Structure 1
Amino acid sequence: GLLTLPMISLILDPLGLPVESILVVFMAIDSLIDPMRTLLIVYVNIATTALVAGRESEEERNAKTKMRIAAATAGEIFSPEEAAQISDANAQNPALPDFSADIQSVKVHYETSQASIASMAAPASASKTLRLNPATEKKERLTTSLPGGIKIKIRDALILINTVLLILTASVIIRINSHGTQDSVYSVSTKLVTEILKSVDTKIQAYYTPADQAIHNISFHYWNEDRFHFKSNNEAALDYFMELLQTHKEFAMVYFGDTQGNLIMGRRMPDGTLTRRYITRTEDSVITKYVHENKSYNATFPTTEESLETGYDPRTRGWYKKAVTQKKAVWTNVYIFATDNMPGFSCAAPVYNDDGGLEGVACIDIGIRDLSLYLGGISTTENSKLFIYDQDNQIIAKPLKAEDPLDILLSVYPGADGSNNYSMKKVDDQADPVIAEAFKNSTGRVNTNGIYSFSLDGNNYFCKVDSMPLDQELSINVGMIVPDNDIMGIVYKNNRMVLIISLIVIIIAIIISILVSSLISKPLKILSTEMNDIKELDIDDGEVDINSGIKEIDNMVDSFQGMKQGLASFKKYVPSDLVTQLVKNSQSAEIGGKKQTLTLLFSDIENFTGISEKTPPEELVNRLYDYFSIFAHTITGNRGTIDKYIGDSIMAFWGAPIEMDAKTHATLACRAALTCQMQGQNLSNQWVREGKPKFHTRFGIHTGEVVVGNMGSDERINYTVLGDNVNLASRLEGINKYYGTEIIISANTHDLVKDDFEFRMLDKITVKGKTQPLFIYELLAEKDKLNQSLIKIYSAYERGLKFYFDGDWDNCIKYMTAVRRHSNDKAAQVILERAENFKLNPPAVWDGVYAFDKK
């Protein structure tokens, strides 16, 4: 409580309240209630051990200590029936205190008393044991024992303890306010500045993060050649750049420069409108073209044609060279943008093709004025200062408002053409003496745990500087300066009032303590007598009749009565075995399941055994971690439940425990499989570029009725699925290798989602152990997202398959041969070989079903 005093001051001082005196009031009130309640509970425990007749020898105390240790390790102490009785007693009064510690104490005391009785029976100890007569014993039960045999009544003890606590508390508070102001200021300032700077660091990190994420997305779209077709369609790329500019107001420009020196750019103009910029390099010139949303810029930024020597070449720019050199996403130092002569920094990333060849570099620019405006929107203390500087000690951001002039942040000077040019200010620039002095004193203090203080013109300041890495080679420093008066200014005005108010409160609290202690002491005498009986395990079935009018004591009596009832039953049982059984029977989840229609998915890595034999174990584990993480996020992101990981395989299902209709969970399963397929290919391509073998994943999906629920033993259960349909989904995954496919689904799943995805019918089969034939399909893509050439090939395959089902071997061979001519389709090769074989050896009965005799 004392350490939080300055923080309480920050809240109450603006209201004109003397915070230290209020704290004394709170502690005085607390000393009348909470400490008394604590004393009551402590007294219950003390009374069971302290009121033992006679003085114990050292040998007796050692013997009792050993018995207590043995009792403490004997296990739990309640049978199921006793636990039910105590649970019922607690349910009748939910506010009852927790007496579990007291119950354990009673058990120890019972065994202690038994040891005492045994010692009394032994001649060697009889002379050392004094047994009080009942009258003396009853009298002793009304008092507690202090060291040296001094006896004091509970009423006097409460008054004495409360008085001492209040005087000590007031003395400590007064001393803190008199002599500890500087320590309090430093402690609170350290925490406040550190927490505010952490918040600022988090917000600045959030400012940078979208650029890093966006640049990776751009690189992905260029490399992946997905539906955007960035490589072949500059307008599609620019549309995406414009969307990024509209979404992220901190982005000034988004562009891509290729290896031929061409560039396309989306740019935010001064009035907030967007402009498209095209730079095209021909054999003898560089053509720059603009397309403005605001047509008034046409005159300012017309189409130009320059020589190859003077025209803009992205390949010569620092952002391009750094990204190509480091072969990863990078951040640049602050530099002057060629487009608008404004300073800023860039996030750039190289783009490679599937063969590892460089396609170009994508880049996003962020102006430092925008970062300063962002800092201007972060709330701190009234007169604090935030600042950011780079590794060259250049100020790159200070809090700005939209109406503030740029010369607060930058040095402005006229250019040769009459326009303004800008240069970076140094952090030690005396134009801002407070920041300059803070930087002067920051040597060796960047990223330290504490803050440092300095004085300037008679004012004290606290400062902390954190280093924030943008990449491995580039970092920025974020500093915060807080004036002393922002934190503790009002606290200093209240010190003179603390002493008088504290003394008054102490006197009032002592008077109230005397009155309350008198109300507490009488019922505690009765409880003390009852507790001594319990210490001897002399427990009757009668209720304790006490009505003190004090809620805490009445609650204590109710809890005591419940404890008596529990202990009465406790005596009749051997606790260890029965209590262990009670814990085992306390179930949070019940064994059982129900039939339900789910969609099941199995995945497996092709030739994983061969890969694992050639890969070091640690690397294999790390690769599986990356692989499983991507797939797990995708499956759970599509509301699936991962049942288990089986080696390199994943078993998942949809429709439980989150219930949904069959079409929905079948759709989600198919979408998850396609996403996993794409992400797995991306991850494998990355590994190939690193010289590692790729993971080729196969999926099997089936929708059917299974048993789902908690299954296992009384020690361990799993939420899982069982049934023939689970095995069928697993078999579908396995037969991918026969057809050279990646995702095979059953007819049940196909019928549910056929309007949402692209498929081709693969075959009509029976799996091992089954006689019921089923149609199987290959899942290809989401609806209308399949390449037209592939659609033609797969349509020819399905026409050939129809002839195959009809037994028309010649036409089947014709179509499958055409498919093989245009693609390396293993499924077509399989059907072609079957048709050629059946043409030579016609089956006696043909139903179009191929029976798999292997798993």
Structure 2
Amino acid sequence: MKISIKTILIFGVITLILGTVTIIMSYSYWRTQTALNQLLKNILVNISDYSIDKTESFLLPATQSSALTRRLIQSKLLAEGNRKQLAQFFYHQLSLHDQFAGMYLARPNGEFIYVKKENSSFERGFRTKLITLDRGLRRVKLLDQDADFREQAQQFDPSDKYDPRTRPWYQLAKDKKGIIWTDPYVFFSSQLPGITTARRIENKDGKLIAIVGIDIELGELSSFISALTIGKRGKALIVNQKGAMIAYSASDFVEQRSMKRQPRNLNELSDSISQQAFQPLFQEKKGYHLDQDRFTKFDFRGGTYHALLKPIQMPGRSWIFGIYIPERDFLQEIHESQAESMLIAFLISLLAVLLAIWFSAKITASLKILQRESELIKRFDLSTDVTVETVFSEIQDLADSFFRMKMGLKAFRHYVPISLVRSIIAKQQLPDREMRNMVVMFTDIEDFTQISEHLPPRILVEYLNDYLEVISRIVMRYQGTIDKYIGDSVMALWGIPVNRADATELACEAALKIQSRLEVLNATWAQQNRPIMKTRIGIVTGDMIVGNIGSSERISYTVIGDQVNLASRLEDLNKDYGTWNLISEETKEQLDSRFVTRFLDEVIIRGREQKTRVYELVGLSQTVSAETKEIMTLYEEAVEFYLEGQFIEAEQLLLLISSAETEQQDPPTQILLEKIRKKIAQVAFAQDDTGELTALE
């Protein structure tokens, strides 16, 4: 399989450019993407670490306050039964920590002291709830204090049935050493989401003496989480192991359920992206479980998201901090820049490809011209003159070499038949000698010797070349091959290098065309005071040896054989019969009805023992008059009488022809009539009994 230079150039340049651009852009994209992904991870880590620190700082005071309460009670510095002392201590802790919504202590017997922030009556005020048991009598007392914890009002609520021992924080803390954290819920009094941390307090014997608890409102933590700048559409949230929301945007944090507001669970959020980010952590029995930091990347509704899930390591909790960010928030500008770079690279590549196509077109255009020229040269068609001008020196050198070669071949074709050269080129080998049925033609100028005696050599050569040009063009027009020029004679062949079934007809048509053309030219030449050049032609069809004839130093592709000699003799025999075109019997037999011929005579050709029947090529049927055709018929009958020895009958027919009114006398008729009269004069005649004359030897 061959590939064109244009294809190789275009494909090579396109491959090189696209390959280079692809490698550079891919490497640049990979490096940029890697760096940006790392930067994105660092951002997520920094935000999560900051958020977790903030969360821990937000929750740590509750742990510390509960631990402090436990130590103070165990060290007797704070009595669990001294309600006023406890209330003042709780008041002090609430004043120190804004995130504390309330602080309380519950005893195993059901007594309860609860101090919470209350801003409905006083700014930065407090409300204390006391549940006491006095001799089996349960009393619930509510006290309102101002910012200085001075009592402003009190009331009793006998309808209050609140029992702290039934609350989840109490149940979790009483059987567990250390701190506990409840799931988030909505505080009844404030209707805000929050959580409770509680701790068991024992005496020195390990007996439970109280549970201390602290309510923490998560609004501030949720506000902090919501206010984080995480790109344009990123979010952060904190969930516990059950998927309950610890911190999220305040608007989505709680929902109304059967007249009761409750914090949302992760799988209840309208934020499907958050659910997708946490989905890998979910386990059927453990819920959302995470032991170490985890980066994830996921696709959601046509967008790519990066997420970091990080456990919050604090006692008593199994919380997970999650943060996600759309990739386009951080990488969109980079992607746009990369898209612009790719567009620029594409335009540059396109320009380079167009230049490559232009250069390849310039190269291949010249090469195609040379290719067409080589194909023409292969057929030895040297008729075109094409000039190649190119900026590429190698191609220009090749084109110049083509031009010089063509000039040489043009000169060479004047010495070698074009058809032969084409055959040699097509077969790519020299032809072998072989016997072939062919047609050979000889032409010769009448009285050329006399013409040459009266002309200077230069003028003679000029006139002769004009004459030979006419002969040669007509021969080649009728598919003949000029074998050689012999002085003023031309030897032409039909049937080489390729056999033709119509070779004889073409040769005869060429002969008639030569005569008609010379008739016109001779009239013109006569007006120019140039010598007229009448031509005698002999044509023979038969088997001849054709091939390379000569020595090792020089050879000639030609034909030899008896038929060649016969053609030369027939051409010369025209002088004896006053004719211009003589053909052999085999030639006559291969002509169809388009041609008019006449049997001229039987002659003994020099070098041959047997007589040869000779025919005159008169013309094409459409150009020969009926009168001439009648004369040809009478002449052939006279010849037959003549050959049979019936001279009187032959003479009578010839006299009939001579007496016919024609523009000019028929030379063969006059010549044959003269021959018959000589025969009659040499023969004595006797009359037999029937009265007929019989020739006597």
Q: Would the TM-score normalized by the shorter structure come out above 0.5?
A: no
Q: TM-score, normalised by structure 2?
A: 0.41
Larger Rg: 2
Q: TM-score, normalised by structure 1?
A: 0.34
- Structure (1 or 2) with the greater strand fraction: 2
- Structure (1 or 2) with the greater helix fraction: 1
